[in-house]
Amino acid sequence: MSLRHGLIGLLAREGPLTGYELTKAFDRSVNYVWHALPGQIYPELARLVKAGFIRQTGIGHRRVSPARRPFFMTLHKGSIVRCLL
């Protein structure tokens, strides 16, 4: 399993989560065998956004920092991913 698959799986299972929440959920689920650092998670989230698998809500709200904007599965690619998981 790659970090990409782990993050997509968490979003598919849990719904919209911030980067911080994804980091904590990742730690709760597989930390005993695989610890992913925020320095690994956030760049992978950026790659997933660029690839169109996920989006980040709250863009345009000046008072909301990027760390507090939840990520969510895109409708089309999210349904494909759910079938694969």
Whole domain around residue 65: which residue ranges?
A: 3-84
Of 79 and 20, which is predicted with more confidence?
Answer: 20
Say if residue 46's pLDDT is above 90.
Answer: yes
Predicted local confidence at residue 82, as pLDDT: 58
Predicted local confidence at residue 35, as pLDDT: 80
28 token code pair: 């709760």
Predicted local confidence at residue 60, as pLDDT: 45
Tokens 């939840």 sit at which residue? 70
DSSP code for 70: P
CA pair distance 25, 6, nearest whole angstrom: 10
CA pair distance 7, 44, nearest whole angstrom: 9
pTM over 0.75: yes
Average pLDDT of 66-74? Answer: 78
DSSP code for 40: H
Q: Residue 43: give its domain's CATH number.
A: 1.10.10.10
Say if residue 27's pLDDT is above 80.
Answer: yes
Q: Provide the domain count of the chain.
A: 1
